[in-house]
Structure 1
Amino acid sequence: MESTPAPGENIAVLRKARGLGQAKLARLAGLSLSYLSKIEVGTRPVTPPVVAAVAKAMRVPTARIYGQPFLGVTEQAELLDDLRDSVRRYTLPREDVPPPALLAAAVDRAMRLRAETRYLELLAMLPKLLGQVTATALSSPGEAGAWAHVVDVYGCAYAAAHRMAQPDLADMIVSRQAWAAQQTWNPEAEVATAWNEAGTYQSAGQYADGISIVERAISKYENVARGNSPAKAMSLGSLHLRGVVLASRHKDKEAAADHLRKAHEYAELVQSDLLWHNLTFGPENTALYELAAHIELGKPDKAVEMGTVLVAAPPRTLTPNRLGRMYIDIARARLDTRDYSGAEEALDKAFAVSPQMTEVHPMAREVIRVLFVLHQRTRPALMTMAKRTGLSN
């Protein structure tokens, strides 16, 4: 069926290479034997916490489980190589300092492409733009606005590297982003960096460490922020949303509920969702994180209930990257409740609003794979999805 290995198949290959039986791996990873068997044959999706548990049991990075979602030599690979070279030369930009207005417009475009999940266009412009914003900042020591541009562009680069399944590059980008944030006192830039740093731990399945990063960033920001400004609500609310994901995947119900409660409190102060420093925060995005937490904590029925309302009236203030993720989460919840046609419908909406993200998103690919295996091969729309994600020729 598959042209590129799916996580379940990768687990089976790695397990056999290490001479592990299914029963032993299941025991080491804290899974039932039946569940692991279904994952390997493709009738159950591989969720992020399962990937983390199996990777830890077999002592491999989570990236080895997810595998490479692209086929052969791709345009993405060439663009990623250019980005990697630019990130490596972070203190040695080759680009000249452009006029301020042109640079600001380019940074705004990069953040818009990220929000719209137009990753190929974003990757094409990032190497040059990284050089330009860095050259500008280095020529203006201590200029907060110039270094904020560097932080924002690295934030765009992190999103692209993360979504294109390049964890080593994402880690390097976060270290560069932290370097830029420390060049001048800018607490919001440091929040954006902490958000991505926690994301690297999330991707690696190291949820407790990610929570520590979030809690440290919250404490640090609270020590310098005063009053109830929109910047404070956006910053702390966004950090709490990252905490919701990490805690729910760590199966810490109390911590997840606490982060969610505080996120809702800050969302009331913002009232309408805003995008700032590549972070989206507000009531509608907070609802999406609540839906995802229900899934991670084993309550797909509640997620389906929330999803029904959201599909009927999709949030209007959210960007395509958030809407696409919403539909992917709804598809996963419907799959868990055996609403296969509903899962396919949600995936179709994800492709419509955010095609480049949906094609490579691990959870979207897993839902498609399971639907494909569960006697859905004759459905034309599903066959198209499988081909777009490289799961079928």
Structure 2
Amino acid sequence: MEKAPAAGENIAVLRKARGLGQTKCARMMGISVSYLKKIEGAQRPVTPPVAAAASKALHVTTGRIYGQPFRSPLEQADHLNELRLAVRRHTLPSEDRPPQGELAVGLQTAMRLRADTKYLELLRILPRLLGQATATALDAGGDATAWGQVADLYGCAYAVAHRMGEYDLADMIVSRQSWAAQRTWNPDAEAATAWNLAGTFQSAGQYDEGLAIVERAVSQYEQAGGNGTEHIVTLGSLHLRGVVLASRNRDEHATDDHLRHAKRLAVQLGDRGDLLRHNLTFGAGNTALYELAAHIELDRPDRAVEMSDPLKDSPPRGLAPSRIGRLCIDGARAALATQHLDEAERWLNRAFAVAPQMTQLHPMSREVIRVLFVMHQRSRPSLMTMAKRTGLTD
């Protein structure tokens, strides 16, 4: 595998290509010159807000800053092309309608693979499943359940495209998910689509716009009425998306507001742990993980460390590998920010053990590995292994 340029290297190259000195570029990004120098010199990680600022200053996408999509053995071009084709021909599926019950089993398999962060395995089955589900829904006319299955499968497809850095594909998938969700007449399916739509703005670093999507979705969902477990999971998940967007936008008031609503809803679930509905996970455990991440984005790593310490050996019950993996990555970010380098490495090792494909592809795990490897502990064998797995070194 060829060495993948790191985000700091990409910023330096793009800055020079535009004829910008570090002083002017730093001013355009709203950061200090010394901070920019550390970023370009692999002494500090490129956080999502910094990537967003760099993308605006340099007129490129955040994916270009991070070097996404990452070219590695994990990326299966043939399967991605098959998925693109399936998404493109959304009204013209080539697959036949499967036997009764087979599609439901396939959907459950897809949702489990997504939660387990087994993106390659999920990618292999998605094109055919999408075609079968669409053929079934078209034959069934206005059957809400059939269209709900299509919408949920597009939710799985979004997770794959997003994690592999295929942001243009992710945008197209969300439009198809919306197309299917509108045919369900189900507010939960439409809210799940809004959750992913806000995610496309989050990936692009357009946090204000993403927050507007969330707030509109919350308002519409509340107006639709409803109660029960599914209502709590859906509404709580929308607020958690708002926590991410607001914290990356450095809006403490909005962060606290969304977090307060999420905690209130989590209490209503009682002691059932975190629940999964329409590819959305919600409960007290996941809410705590989002709060931890918000402290990092708001430059409060000490508070993030305080939260992460008791979760090392006893993570919230009921959370899938996708969430535990994210906990480990954020734990590593907090440890690095507080200069606990050995602890950051331990968190990363655990992330690879729990969710290897996610950790290999996630921009922030790669950034933490890059800083540890390049600046601090190049000679450590485990860091060398992680750097090779992520393509950061030959």
Pick the TM interval, shorter chain.
over 0.9
**1:13 and 2:1 correspond:** no
Q: Distance in 2 between matches of 1:177 and 1:126?
A: 14
Q: Distance in 2 between matches of 1:119 and 1:294?
A: 28
My pick for the range that moved more, 229-238 or 273-282, is 229-238
Q: Distance in 2 between matches of 1:244 and 1:114?
A: 22
Deviation, structure 1 residue 316: 2.3
- Structure 1 unpaired stretches of 5+: none
Q: Distance in 1 between matches of 2:253 and 2:180?
A: 35
String of CA shifts for 1:263-305, please: whole Å, max 9, x gaps: 0000011232101100000000000000000000110000001
Match of 2:230 in 1: 231
Work out whether residues 4 and 69 of structure 1, in 8 Å CA contact, stay in contact via their aligned partners in 2. no
Deviation, structure 1 residue 59: 1.2
Q: Distance in 2 between matches of 1:244 and 1:36?
A: 27
- Structure 2 unpaired stretches of 5+: none
How large is the RMSD of aligned CA atoms in angstroms?
1.3
**1:179 and 2:179 correspond:** yes
Match of 2:258 in 1: 259
Work out whether residues 234 and 277 of structure 2, in 8 Å CA contact, stay in contact via their aligned partners in 1. no
| Counterpart mapping for 1:54-203 below 5 A | 54-68=54-68, 70-71=70-71, 75-203=75-203
Work out whether residues 15 and 21 of structure 1, in 8 Å CA contact, stay in contact via their aligned partners in 2. yes
Secondary structure of the structure 2 residue equivalent to 1:280? strand
Q: Distance in 2 between matches of 1:72 and 1:289?
A: 29
Match of 1:212 in 2: 212
TM-score normalised per structure 2 = 0.98
Q: Distance in 1 between matches of 2:251 and 2:288?
A: 19
Match of 1:308 in 2: 309
Deviation, structure 1 residue 69: 5.2
**1:341 and 2:342 correspond:** yes
Secondary structure of the structure 1 residue equivalent to 2:46? coil
String of CA shifts for 1:21-41, please: whole Å, max 9, x gaps: 011000001010000110001
Match of 1:279 in 2: 280
Work out whether residues 69 and 166 of structure 2, in 8 Å CA contact, stay in contact via their aligned partners in 1. no
Deviation, structure 1 residue 72: 6.2
Q: Distance in 2 between matches of 1:147 and 1:69?
A: 30
Work out whether residues 273 and 281 of structure 1, in 8 Å CA contact, stay in contact via their aligned partners in 2. yes
Q: Distance in 2 between matches of 1:292 and 1:312?
A: 18
Secondary structure of the structure 1 residue equivalent to 2:91? coil
String of CA shifts for 1:298-344, please: whole Å, max 9, x gaps: 10000001000111312221000000000000000000000000000
Q: Distance in 2 between matches of 1:176 and 1:185?
A: 15
**1:317 and 2:318 correspond:** yes
Q: Which amino acid aligns with 1:241?
A: L
Secondary structure of the structure 2 residue equivalent to 1:374? helix
Secondary structure of the structure 1 residue equivalent to 2:276? strand
Match of 1:48 in 2: 48
Q: Distance in 1 between matches of 2:75 and 2:257?
A: 43
Work out whether residues 76 and 120 of structure 1, in 8 Å CA contact, stay in contact via their aligned partners in 2. yes
Q: Distance in 1 between matches of 2:381 and 2:78?
A: 32
Deviation, structure 1 residue 71: 3.3
TM-score normalised per structure 1 = 0.98
Q: Which amino acid aligns with 1:334?
A: A
Deviation, structure 1 residue 73: 7.7
Work out whether residues 296 and 334 of structure 2, in 8 Å CA contact, stay in contact via their aligned partners in 1. yes
The ranges of structure 1 where at least 4 consecutive aligned residues each deviate by more than 6 angstroms after the TM superposition are: none
Size of the aligned set, in residue pairs, is 392
Work out whether residues 7 and 67 of structure 1, in 8 Å CA contact, stay in contact via their aligned partners in 2. yes
Deviation, structure 1 residue 144: 1.0
Secondary structure of the structure 2 residue equivalent to 1:139? helix
Q: Which amino acid aligns with 1:314?
A: P
Q: Distance in 2 between matches of 1:221 and 1:68?
A: 34
Work out whether residues 115 and 321 of structure 1, in 8 Å CA contact, stay in contact via their aligned partners in 2. yes
Secondary structure of the structure 2 residue equivalent to 1:275? strand
My pick for the range that moved more, 108-117 or 182-191, is 182-191
Work out whether residues 244 and 259 of structure 1, in 8 Å CA contact, stay in contact via their aligned partners in 2. yes
Q: Which amino acid aligns with 1:245?
A: V
Deviation, structure 1 residue 375: 3.2
User: Between the two proteins, what is the percent identity of the paired residues?
Assistant: 65
Q: Distance in 1 between matches of 2:184 and 2:178?
A: 11
Work out whether residues 8 and 46 of structure 1, in 8 Å CA contact, stay in contact via their aligned partners in 2. yes
